[in-house]
């Protein structure tokens, strides 16, 4: 219907002026929108030009790599060059990059993809990277592969989503990327097409990643710092590059890019708190020795401090346990050199708690409703002891102490509730670690009660969780 403002002598003054104002406002808004759209298009064109202009000269590895990295990126096995050595080196590097974790949904067909990764913008299914020519990357040239790893661009020139950590892989040398390719060429080709992505509009528009890249992506190989030791450079190359520790441990900005100024200072990942691993004494891991870090990454246990559960248990099982001692020490050296980030904790996560027991006090007492102490005795004490001290100390295969354990001493109880919901599963050379999951046995209210009991008795009593929070954690896709 057409509105006849302007010449309506029969309209009374107020209606007239109101509708006129509305029209003016609309017109102004239209103008604003048009101006904005024009500015946006110009900007987009400029970016496209910049990208095109930028795309060519990167034949990577052109910048002379310092001795540190040349030396450092040769694995301790001494493997180098071509053929079986190259493949072996590629296997080692593929483990350091943990390709298998994201590109495997069914353990029976490794690297065939299909794993659902949920992001705030929708679900992405990882592609098949086996050498199958039709459904995998069998027809990709090495140049295609390098471009994907270094620039986040797919075979047809399409933008890849940053759920693929190319923002880190861009730092990996050409040599190392080629070794990974050589190894992937040798894995069993699997004929399997993963489900299509379920990204919401506008995020299903891949070209939009141009903007994401502009704010969050710095293309380029790792540049060693000549002022630092070869060990430090190797550690930096792994942590900031292949091993992509920051994907979980670094907080994100609203575009889901990493806030590099807050590097490795802790973030929430699929409901789990990937803790602050900067060397801050109380907020981070400043109190850990190099050996603690090495032991944690190779076995999942830093005795008297922490055990790896959830996503970190997967990192240890699929990736870091395979790294040699030299590389693990380099990681420790690098982590120790980071800027310590203070998150306000007054005592370190691993220093809370003392043995306690309510077993005697509970005897003969009538219990109404949900009771944390009782739930602890019934569900946890058989392994962790009613005093919370565990069995077998930190030996692998032991039931760990809940005292001086980063999960019970953390400033939030997320990971404790997650450990109870999902249990612990970690496979390493020396142990197959298993704590049962309680998500089927216990209700949200029961899990909240036992969590709060454990933090109050054995950990940081200020860390509590509500029934609603447990419900949210339970609903978080893993
Ligand atoms: C954190 C999860 C994650 C890890 C780790 C990971 N990828 Fe991926 N990768 C993805 C996702 C997600 C995509 C799909 C992105 C998209 O659809 O835009 C992808 C895409 C790719 C592609 C493009 C394939 C295609 O068909 O377009 C290649 C090649 C690739 N990854 C190789 C690797 C290699 C090699 C490693 C190990 C060094 C690795 N990825 C580790 C998540 C991961
Ligand atoms: C897939 C996500 C993810 C990646 C990648 C990852 N971490 Fe973690 N990390 C976590 C989570 C989650 C925890 C907490 C585990 C727990 O509570 O049992 C954790 C815990 C840790 C801890 C123990 C901290 C403490 O106080 O308990 C260290 C040390 C650590 N990670 C180091 C690393 C390093 C080094 C890398 C890279 C080689 C890395 N992580 C990569 C998710 C990740
Ligand atoms: C059948 C034995 C068993 C039972 C029952 C059990 N646990 Fe565990 N728990 C384990 C094992 C094994 C580990 C992993 C040890 C390791 O990481 O090396 C573990 C680990 C933990 C951790 C440390 C996780 C981390 O990331 O640091 C906590 C906290 C914990 N359990 C709490 C509980 C609570 C609370 C209950 C009861 C709801 C419970 N456990 C029941 C065996 C058990």
Question: Relative to the CA of 415, which ligand 3 atom is closest?
Answer: 26
The Å distance, Cα 216 to ligand 1 centre, comes to 18
Partners of 124 in the β-ladder: 117
Partners of 426 in the β-ladder: 433
- DSSP element (H, E) containing 179: helix 174-184
Predicted TM-score of the model (pTM): 0.87
| Higher-pLDDT residue of 368, 407 | 407
The Å distance, Cα 249 to ligand 2 centre, comes to 7
| Higher-pLDDT residue of 273, 1 | 273
- Asked which of 216, 236, 257 is the last residue of a domain, the reply is 216
pLDDT tens digits for range 324-337? 999 999 999 999 99
- Which CATH number goes with the domain that contains 375? 1.10.760.10
Ligand 1 pocket: which of 96, 129, 162, 246 to mutate (most atoms <8 Å of CB)? 129
- Does some domain include residue 102? yes
Q: How many domains does the chain have?
A: 2
Ligand nearest to the CA of 295: 2
Decide: 402 in ligand 1 pocket, CB within 6 A.
no
Q: For residue 433, what are the domain limits?
A: 350-475
- Asked which of 216, 248, 283 is the last residue of a domain, the reply is 216
pLDDT for 42 beyond 60:
no
* Distance (Å) of CA 296 to CA 200, 282, 291, 292, 320: 38, 18, 8, 6, 9
User: Cβ–Cβ contacts within 10 Å for residue 151, how many?
Assistant: 21
The pLDDT confidence band at residue 265, using thresholds 50, 70 and 90, is: very high
- Does some domain include residue 281? no
Ligand nearest to the CA of 272: 2
The pLDDT > 70 percentage for the chain reads 81
- Asked which of 216, 234, 257 is the last residue of a domain, the reply is 216
The Å distance, Cα 428 to ligand 3 centre, comes to 17
- Does some domain include residue 188? yes
Residue nearest to atom 19 of ligand 3 (CA): 435
Of the candidate ranges 59-68, 148-157, 198-207, 238-247, the one whose mean pLDDT is the lowest: 59-68
Residue 318 CA to residue 115 CA, distance in Å, equals: 15
The Å distance, Cα 274 to ligand 2 centre, comes to 5
The Å distance, Cα 126 to ligand 1 centre, comes to 6
Decide: 199 in ligand 1 pocket, CB within 6 A.
no
Ligand nearest to the CA of 451: 3
Ligand nearest to the CA of 381: 3
The pLDDT confidence band at residue 442, using thresholds 50, 70 and 90, is: very high
Q: Is 317 helix (H, G, I), strand (E, B) or coil?
A: helix
Q: What is the pLDDT of residue 71?
A: 42
Decide: 267 in ligand 2 pocket, CB within 6 A.
no
Average pLDDT over residues 226-231: 97
């Amino acid at each position: 219907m057409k509105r006849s403002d302007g010449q309506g002598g029969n309209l009374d003054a107020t209606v007239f002026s109101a509708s006129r104002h509305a029209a003016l406002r609309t017109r102004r808004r239209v103008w604003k929108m048009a101006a904005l759209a024009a500015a946006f298009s110009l900007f987009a064109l400029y970016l496209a030009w910049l990208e095109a202009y930028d795309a060519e000269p990167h034949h990577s590895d052109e910048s002379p790599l310092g001795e540190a990295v040349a030396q450092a990126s040769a694995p301790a096995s001494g493997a180098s060059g071509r053929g079986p050595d190259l493949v072996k080196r590629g296997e080692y590097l593929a483990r350091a990059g943990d390709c298998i974790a994201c590109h495997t949904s069914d353990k029976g067909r490794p690297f065939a993809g299909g794993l659902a990764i949920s992001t705030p913008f929708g679900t992405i299914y990882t592609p098949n990277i086996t050498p199958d020519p039709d459904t995998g990357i069998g027809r990709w040239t090495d140049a295609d592969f390098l471009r994907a790893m270094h620039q986040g661009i797919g075979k047809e020139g399409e933008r890849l989503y940053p759920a693929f950590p190319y923002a880190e892989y861009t730092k990996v040398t050409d040599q190392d990327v080629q070794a990974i390719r050589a190894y992937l060429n040798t894995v069993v080709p699997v004929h399997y097409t993963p489900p299509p992505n379920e990204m919401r509009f506008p995020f299903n528009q891949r070209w939009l990643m141009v903007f994401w890249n502009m704010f969050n992506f710095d293309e380029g190989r790792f540049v060693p710092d000549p002022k630092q030791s070869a060990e430090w450079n190797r550690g930096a190359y792994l942590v900031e590059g292949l091993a992509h520790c920051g994907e979980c441990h670094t907080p994100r900005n609203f575009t889901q890019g990493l806030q590099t100024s807050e590097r490795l200072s802790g973030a929430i990942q699929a409901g789990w708190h990937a803790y602050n691993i900067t060397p801050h004494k109380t907020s981070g891991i400043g109190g850990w020795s190099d050996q603690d870090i090495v032991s944690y990454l190779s076995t999942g246990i830093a005795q008297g401090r922490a055990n790896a559960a959830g996503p970190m248990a997967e990192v240890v099982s699929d990736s870091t346990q395979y790294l040699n001692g030299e590389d693990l020490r380099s990681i420790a050296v690098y982590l120790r050199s980071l800027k310590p980030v203070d998150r306000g904790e007054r005592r370190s996560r691993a220093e809370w708690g003392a043995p306690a027991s309510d077993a005697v006090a509970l005897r003969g007492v009538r219990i109404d409703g949900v009771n944390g102490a009782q739930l602890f005795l019934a569900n946890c004490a058989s392994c962790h002891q009613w005093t919370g001290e565990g069995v077998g100390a930190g030996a692998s295969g032991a039931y760990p102490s809940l005292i001086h354990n980063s999960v019970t001493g953390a400033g939030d109880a997320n990971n404790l509730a997650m450990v109870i919901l999902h249990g612990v599963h970690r496979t390493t050379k020396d142990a197959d670690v298993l704590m049962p999951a309680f998500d089927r046995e216990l209700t949200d209210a029961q899990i909240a009660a036992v969590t709060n009991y454990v933090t109050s008795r054995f950990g940081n009593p200020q860390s509590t969780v509500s029934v609603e929070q447990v419900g949210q954690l339970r609903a978080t896709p893993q």
